Structures are given as C-alpha cells and as structure tokens.
Amino acid sequence: MKIIHFSDPHAGGPAEDWMAYLDKRWVGVFNYCFRRRFIFNMERLQRAVSYILDAKPDVAVCTGDLTSAGQPGEFAKIIPILKPLRDSKIPVLFVPGNHDCYVTREKCVAAMREAVVWLTRGRYNFDDLPLALDLGECEFVMINTGYPSNLLCSWGFVKADSRDFLLRHGSAAKVKPRILVSHYPIIEDHPVWRWRHRLFGQEEIVRMLADGRLDLSLCGHVHFPYKKVNERGRGENCAGSVTRNGVFSEIEYDQNNDIFTFKEIHLA
C-alpha cells in the first residue's frame, strides 16, 4: 500500500476585514506578509500535486495548515492548486491544523469546515472527528488537535472526546495497522524548548504508540521533515512543509512483511 503524506502549505494574504486586527488573525497576516510569503512557494505544492497524480498512491494524507490565518480568501487561494488531486480517484484524508482553526470568527470557521468536506469529497466532515476509516491495508484514525489559542502560542490539545475515542478504539482487536492522522507531533523530545508550539494531553497516545495499539503517527506542524520509527517503521512521521522545503513523504506498507518504509520526496 502506498501513502503520500504532505503538510503545511500555509497559503496567506492580507487581512480580509477590519476585525482581523482585533483577533489573532493579525499575527498570521503579519507573519505572512513580512516573512512567510518570501519562503513559502505555492508552485512547490503544484509540483507535489503533479507528483501525487503520477504516483497514484492508495491514499493521500494532508495533515493541516492549508492557510496562514484561517481566512476564507486563503482557503480560496489553495483550492485551485489542490483541485486536480481532489478531482482524481485518489482518496484524500485531511485534518485541519492550528492555522486553519486560527480564530473563532464565524466565516473563518465555516471556511475551514467547507475545506474539510471539499478536499475529502464529502467522505467526512469536521464534526465527524474523531473518526476511523478503513482504507486498503491500513486503518486511519483521525483526530482534531488544532484550536484557537492565545496571541503568543501555537498550542494544540488532545481533548477528552479524542482521547476517549482513541482509548475505546485502541482496545478493540487490531486486524491491520492503525495510523493516527493529526496535525501536531505526538512524540515530543523537547517539550520545554518548544512550549510555545507544543501539544497538550497526548500522554496516552504516546503509550498507545509504544505498546502497539497505534502503529504510526502522521503529523505536520514542524516545517522540517523527520521520522522517529523503529526497524519495522512504527513510530511517527512528520512530512514537513511542502511549500517551505519542497518536501513530502512517500510511505509504503509491505503487508507480507508487516513493515513500513519511508522515502522523502524532494521537489527540484
């Protein structure tokens, strides 16, 4: 089974209404206008989509942060780029990131919800999360960890409903590998150093990865790719930012040997 995993395109733009200067959107807008737009190149996402269409994976997984500030116009910018993938026969799984769930403004929340339904072709909607889907030789368990936080931090949270769902689901007999899909890294080596960007409430998920109730975590949030896996490919894979570094992950699951292998795809 072949899985393509990409993340963190961060489409951005100016403030779309005056109220953006009264909520956290001004932070994302400022960051995009004065930093991100110079280093996050949407042409890299276009090339990634072309690669995915040629590779014809069994599933494509996006682990969030389509946008920089969760504004409707930012989602609108990325839709034409992702449309060929969305319109293909390749199943697409998507969980929003903290920048997609940046603020509680009604139109921003509505745009995020619409993006989930649109990109997954109506396979599920945001309110269905947490959710488990059986696709091919693997099972994908998706949770939302992105919520609006304060101006200075990009915190994520594993809330009680997601934790309880994972515990219930993890207690059932496993007939195929379980892959967790979420925006934030679950395995955090330096939580004190990364306190402004960290996830809270993931302790039980760490134990589930360690004891085999979950096999693999796919995440984004960190813009540089990494993998923390054992010899059988169990652990965590971060795809990095496809538009910042021109990189994403191609994952193969060998059912006969029960092994995951990983390849970083670097766009020219």
What count of other Cβ atoms lies within 10 Å of the Cβ of residue 200? 13
pLDDT grade, residue 191 (50/70/90)?
Answer: confident
For 104-128, what is each residue's pLDDT tens digit? Answer: 999 999 999 999 999 999 999 999 9
What pLDDT sits at residue 194?
A: 81
Instruction: Look at the pTM and tell me if it is higher than 0.95.
Output: yes
Determine the distance from the C-alpha atom of residue 112 to the mean position of all C-alpha atoms in its chain, rounded to a whole number: 13
Q: Evaluate whether 222 touches 185 at the Cβ level (below 8 Å).
A: yes
What pLDDT sits at residue 86?
A: 98
For 240-263, what is each residue's pLDDT tens digit? Answer: 999 999 999 999 999 999 999 999
Strands (E) in 119-172, as ranges, are 131-135, 138-142, 156-157
DSSP alpha helices (H): ranges in 158-226?
160-171, 203-211
49-85 as b/e, with b when 16 or more CB fall inside 10 Å?
Answer: bebbbeeebbbbbbbbbbbbbbbbbbbebbeebbeeb
What pLDDT sits at residue 79?
A: 97
First to last CA, the chain: 25
For 76-89, what is each residue's pLDDT tens digit? Answer: 999 999 999 999 99
Residue 192 pLDDT greater than 80, yes or no: no
Residue 190 pLDDT greater than 90, yes or no: no
CATH, range 2-266: 3.60.21.10
